[in-house]
Every structure is written in C-alpha cells, then in structure tokens.
Amino acid sequence: MNTEFFLSIIAILLGTIGYFIKRILDKTDKIGDDVADIKPKVKILWELQFAGGKSPLTLNEKGKDILNKSGVKELVDRRLIQLIESIREKNPKNAYQVQEFAKEVMFNIKSNPEILPNLQKGAFDTGVDVDSVLFVGSLYLRDLALPKFNCRLEDIPGR
C-alpha cells in the first residue's frame, strides 16, 4: 500500500511538472515572437545614432566623424571595385536594393581575419563597435555605388 501511495504522488508530481514545463515553453514562444517584432525597430534606432532620420539615410555629424577617423573610408576607397562588384553580383534593381546590398557587403567584411583588426582599431579609436563602423562605411559605399547602377540617392523611397 505504501508503494501505491508513493507511485500516485510521483505521478501527480510528474503531471504537475509537465504542465508547468508546457506553460513555460508556450511563454518562451511568445517571447521569441515579441523579440522578432522588436528587432527591426531597435535596428532603426541604432542606425539613427549615425545617420539622419529621414530616408534616404545620410550621415550625421557623429557618422561623418566615424567615417573620417575609423579608417573605414580608406577601406572602402581601397576596395571600391571589389565592393561594387559584390553588390553587382546581387543584381540590384533599384536604389534601395543598392543601399541594402551595400550594407550586406560591408557587414560580410567583418568575417575577413585580415581586415577585422583594423576595423576593431577604428571602432576603438572612435568609441563605437565594429558594426557601427561598418554601417557608416555602408552608407559611404552606397553613395559611391549608386551612380554605377544608374541610381540616385533621391531614388530611395522614404520610410
């Protein structure tokens, strides 16, 4: 009889634990959805630290300072042909796509172990992180690339 009592208690405890685990997992899914919804909004706020709030984005004073002091301008200038070719491979159809592909191409540079230390030094020197340096560099690259795709900055639609 003691064994049946303990087995009943264990079954009740396991059922209760299972119920709470299911509730936790359901809440975790909802949190994941909420974070996914918040992510683009945070990205916009992050970008506005370095660029004007109206679309098309243009570098503000902080962004220009990073561009001129981090070394990213020189990096883009040295690798301009290669960077534009990387954008061309993505086959942009309009100015907005040129802008987005310029961001993508610049952020991919971070994986190059030869370039990363210079980016880190530039980030350190300007008091920001590497992603901020690359974002600023992407807007500079976009401005240089747009004419190569017969586009203008004014062709980028407003937000």
pLDDT number for residue 2:
78
Q: Is 152 exposed, middle or buried (0-12, 13-18, 19+ CB in 10 A)?
A: exposed
Predicted confidence (pLDDT) at residue 39 exceeds the cutoff of 70: no
Q: Is residue 36 part of a domain?
A: yes
Report the chain's C-alpha Rg in angstroms: 25
- Are 88 and 65 contained in the same domain? yes
CA distances from 115 to 74, 109, 121, 122, 130 (A): 12, 7, 10, 11, 11
Give the H or E element holding residue 38.
helix 2-47
pLDDT at 37: 67
Greater confidence (43 vs 16) lies with: 16
**Residue 150 reports pLDDT greater than 50:** yes
- Shared domain for 17 and 85, answered yes or no, is no
Cut 0.85: pTM above it: no
d(C-alpha 18, C-alpha 14), whole Å: 6
Q: The domain containing residue 42 runs over which residues?
A: 1-47
Residue (of 158, 154, 135, 150) closest to 93 by Cα position? 150
Task: Give the model's confidence band at 159: pLDDT under 50 very low, under 70 low, under 90 confident, else very high.
Answer: very low
The answer on 119 and 93 residing in a single domain is yes
Mean pLDDT, the chain, whole residue set: 86
Q: Which segments of 48-129 does DSSP mark as H helices, in order?
A: 61-69, 72-78, 80-89, 95-109, 116-126
Q: Does 52 map to a domain?
A: no
What is the mean predicted confidence (pLDDT) over 95-121? 95
Task: Say yes or no: 9 and 69 in one domain.
Answer: no
Whether 75 and 38 share a structural domain = no
pLDDT at 34: 65
